A and B are shown apart, each in its own frame.
Chain A
């Protein structure tokens, strides 16, 4: 039996990948809340008009913030001005990368593709590799050894977690990969989720990006200033705090290796401005359970399924407080997991055959599952 301090191997090349396949928790069937088929069809409808309007507002906001930042250059006001510009650049780049990547932003496929390519660059997320990485994240959400998008291992590594506020580790890893791809090579872990047929596309995308990097560097040299890179390229790093402060609320502190998004994903209430910048991704349980539903219909989907889900966190601050308290506890006990009771109207949690973390057992008592193998569906805590 494993001790509580035993570290899990989160690498896609490690033994837990194979173990997950053997246990039947890789590419498995996940729980879905019951929603009337006709209603679901309405919710899944794509709309170009709404997305075009939101894209115009998005670019206009960036241009205005960039202009304010430009005017502030050379004064102390440049610090808040660029912090805001960078935060909005990175957060909206991230949310548009995500929404367009799912193909749910616009009705017209090429529009999704154009926004996807631009937003991928804004995040410095190599476009094709991250498309496939995200496919895996949806197949195997927080299944250790399978999901390449787990934000923090148990116990957390604070240096890496906090370094991501300036995208230090992830950003540098992606830059390395871009250069690797440009030379016609793939990283081994990527080959676990990217089909070989996509490699050529990956290499050419990387080469185009390198040309863009060179153009930004040339602009800096020509103007004798770092300013061009402060608008394109560097905001991915200095603005990434806005991405992480919200992304940390998505899954951290919840179960691993379960087959029910209500157990490993968090829905958090946020104000309309943040929801616009974030494409309503605060409705994260809803998004994971029904990725076909476009961002603008997620609030309505939330209304349809909230009777079947744990209570959402009331704010980003409340969610972060919960996350960091759990991460702090996981330093001593990596199995520590937040338990969220379901409303009486909900169907029981579906833990799957090998949940990791704490589970609610029949009768409502708690049990830590690591190393002891709890099987089957658990009853709700009502």
Chain B
């Protein structure tokens, strides 16, 4: 059973957007897709140590800012080289205007 962590205010994130969230030596990326749904993954790109939050969201895809690798942030699946590995995803819920992610300790 995971632990729900409060992350960012929902107002801070637009549609088709991504935001960085750091918690206890770990970095996460919180996304909103084109339908206004929220998702979360680990914050660093699986290719190299680069923050995905500096990338570009297109639908359900995040494109990494360093080498333009792509991931589906709803499933964590790699969609374009040089990203070859999946990324860990986290459940997200919206409560009282705040986004929460469920992490496992």
Contact = CB atoms under 8 A, between A and B. Distances in A.
A44 B67 contact: no
Nearest to B82: A135
Interface in A98-130: 102-104, 107, 109
B80 interface: yes
A139 B48 contact: yes
A291 B66 contact: yes
Contacts of A131: 81-82
Contact of A138 (B56, B66, B84): B66
Given A109-B80, A132-B82, A103 B68 contact: yes
B1 to A, nearest CB: 35
Interface residues of B, number: 16
Nearest to A37: B54
B67 A197 contact: no
Interface string A268-298: 0000000000000000000000111000000
Contacts of A149: none
5 contacts: A41-B56, A104-B68, A138-B67, A291-B66, A292-B65
A103 B82 contact: no
B42 interface: no
Given A131-B81, A132-B82, A27 B49 contact: yes
B84 A46 contact: no
Given A132-B82, A135-B82, A290 B65 contact: yes
A139 B67 contact: yes
B38 to A, nearest CB: 18
B72 interface: no
B8 interface: no
Interface in A209-233: none
B35 to A, nearest CB: 18
B10 interface: no
A195 interface: yes
Contacts of B55: 292
